[in-house]
Amino acid sequence: MSYTTTAFPDGFLWGASTSAYQVEGAAYEDGKKASQQDIINQNNYRERGFATAEVTSDHYHHFREDVALMAEMGLKAYRFSIAWSRVIPDGTGAVNPAGLKFYHDLIDELLAHDIEPIVTLYHYDLPWALVERYGGWISRQVVDDFEAYARLIITEFRDQVKYWTTINEQSIIVQYWTQKCYIPEEYRGDNQLRYQINHHMNLAHAIACNLVHELVPGGMVGSVIGYSPIYPLTARAEDVMAAQNAHDLRNGYYLDIYFKGKYTDSAMAYLERHGLAPKIEPGDMELIASGTSDMLGINYYASECAKACPDDGTREMRWNGVNLTGKKGDISGFETHPGFYEMCKNPLLDTNDWDWAIDPVGLEYLLRDIWMRYGKPLMVCENGLGAFDTLEADGTVHDPYRIDYLERHIAAMKRAMDYGVQMLAYCPWSALDLLSTSNGVKKRYGFIYVDRTDDDPRACRRYRKDSFAWYRDVIARNGAGLTL
Ligand code: BG6
């Protein structure tokens, strides 16, 4: 089926995305202290050879050059996150003026280039001090500490930042909790904590929404969900039901909180039956319901597939597998919830080297589905292709696979818009190469190549990839003429 885009609406925010710990580096400079990602990534380096978070893309020292490159691409928006441990190094208490200054300088630089900042308050990088003090997100204390941090940041930047996103990908944090949160060894067997952590994040999210409404006149706030639409493996009714169950636990369970202020009944019933439900204290649900979202950020990389899974004692509950090598097929397994669903490979879709299905139509499908259910404006906060890129001797990087991926996803998004979905922004992952959360720096996503390896940060020199010029042209013609 062929489809070609017409121009996007005026004011549509063509952007790109990063997150603090994955791009900034300067992990221990100018007063910043460790975040849990600095510690987790030290382990990843020792155990798997992936780069640490100490230098990453050295954006902290290159941010003016990076913003100039973004402006050259024609970006209208840049979505990035603030590192809590840069501005409040111990998580609570003393504020680090140099940390705040960095974000002031960055935001000033963006605005000077007419690039709208889209700020994420939290992207996996809890101050390590809070992990040491009380186990991090496991403890309810983190909600109060997050409130103080969020109040500081929102107050500080309220005159310059209109678009706020709260917590990046609670759905993915539940799936991959030990990579997204530092979980002390003794707790790792207790899967209820995944949902308890998520409950604490729901409280923090609601507080942040309320703070934006209180402090930023005309501001817009919402969460960023890591979202995969889930297809049934076959048209058998049992597989269709399994896909619905998977949707309820993996997607609806978050969306219903953001937009209805309640947990999805079916997912909650499943969690309660297995002793996994979060402990909810009096007043929690009222707080959650009060923190209404104005919009939703969506991170979309791949659709997923589910099939029925018998509850006959032969299968064990497990969460997602991961491919750590970048060799297709090396995925370590699939999420399994006996009696509810089991995730599986979609035989109809090609994948990238890390087994992530490539599915542009999935983007149209999820945007239309979320719009139909909740009717709030949406922004794509992440979408992109992780790949092994090659820097040629002449400084070029040819990435036609990324161009193809992005073109078809943008076209799919536009078709959803033609059917009525209100989209605010498209911020693909990533503005420049950075540290992958699961695969080091060799898995690249950027429009801008950063010359470094997992072992050697080198000078992190920047090079424009072919996709850089391509995206610049897409923006220049406001998205017209792209084919699905
Ligand atoms: C999203 C995260 O889950 O996916 C990003 O918000 C992450 O932080 C991106 O980098 C791609 O995943 P990965 O594991 O390839 O880095």
Atom of ligand 1 nearest to the CA of 438: 14
What is the pLDDT, as a whole number, of residue 445? 98
Tokens of 10: 């005026």
What is the pLDDT, as a whole number, of residue 320? 85
Beta bridge partners of 461: 451
Query: Is position 382 annotated as part of the catalytic site?
Result: yes
pLDDT at 151 over 90: yes
CA of 18: how far to CAs of 30, 82, 285, 433, 463, in Å? 21, 10, 32, 9, 17
214-255 pLDDT, tens digit each? 999 999 999 999 999 999 999 999 999 999 999 999 999 999
Q: How far apart are CA 346 and CA 234, in angstroms?
A: 10
User: Which residue is catalytic, options 109, 116, 335, 382?
Assistant: 382
The domains found in the chain, sorted by start residue, are 13-476 (3.20.20.80)
327-354 pLDDT, tens digit each? 999 999 999 999 999 999 999 999 999 9
162-177 pLDDT, tens digit each? 999 999 999 999 999 9
Residue count (the chain): 484
427-483 pLDDT, tens digit each? 999 999 999 999 999 999 999 999 999 999 999 999 999 999 999 999 999 999 999
Give the three-state DSSP class for 79: strand
The dihedral built from the CA positions of residue 240, 246, 249 and 254, taken in this order, carries a sign that is negative
Q: How far apart are CA 166 and CA 216, in angstroms?
A: 14
- Under DSSP, the state recorded for 444 is B
Residue whose CA is closest, atom 15 of ligand 1? 436
Mean pLDDT of the region 306-312: 96
Mean pLDDT of the region 18-38: 98
Q: How far apart are CA 355 and CA 336, in angstroms?
A: 17
For ligand 1, residues with CB inside 6 Å are 19, 22, 168-169, 172, 226, 299, 382, 386, 429, 436-439, 443
Phi/psi-derived region of residue 38, left when phi > 0, alpha when psi is between -120 and 50, beta in every other case:
alpha
Q: Say how many Å lie between the CA of residue 267 and the centre of ligand 1.
A: 25
Tokens of 168: 């990046």
Query: Is position 281 annotated as part of the catalytic site?
Result: no
Q: Say how many Å lie between the CA of residue 215 and the centre of ligand 1.
A: 30
Q: How far apart are CA 146 and CA 201, in angstroms?
A: 9
Cα 68 to the chain's mean position, in Å? 24
Q: Say how many Å lie between the CA of residue 16 and the centre of ligand 1.
A: 14
Atom of ligand 1 nearest to the CA of 354: 15
pLDDT band for position 401 (cuts 50, 70, 90): very high
Mean pLDDT of the region 310-317: 92
The pTM score is 0.98
Tokens of 416: 């959803």
Which residues make Cβ contacts (< 8 Å) with residue 272, sequence separation at least 6? none
120-149 pLDDT, tens digit each? 999 999 999 999 999 999 999 999 999 999
Q: Percent of the chain at pLDDT above 70?
A: 100
Atom of ligand 1 nearest to the CA of 429: 9
Q: Report the mean per-residue pLDDT for the chain.
A: 97
The residue type found at 190 is D
User: Which residue is catalytic, options 24, 169, 304, 335?
Assistant: 169
What is the pLDDT, as a whole number, of residue 1? 59
Pick from 356, 362, 314, 317: which is nearest to 336 by CA? 317
Atom of ligand 1 nearest to the CA of 172: 3
pLDDT at 60 over 70: yes
The residue to mutate among 429, 430, 433, having the most atoms of ligand 1 within 8 angstroms of its beta carbon, is 429
What is the pLDDT, as a whole number, of residue 138? 97
Q: Say how many Å lie between the CA of residue 143 and the centre of ligand 1.
A: 24
Q: Say how many Å lie between the CA of residue 382 and the centre of ligand 1.
A: 8
- Give phi and psi for 136, each to the nearest 5: 70, -135
Could you identify the residue written with the tokens 């994948």? 351
Tokens of 19: 């997150």
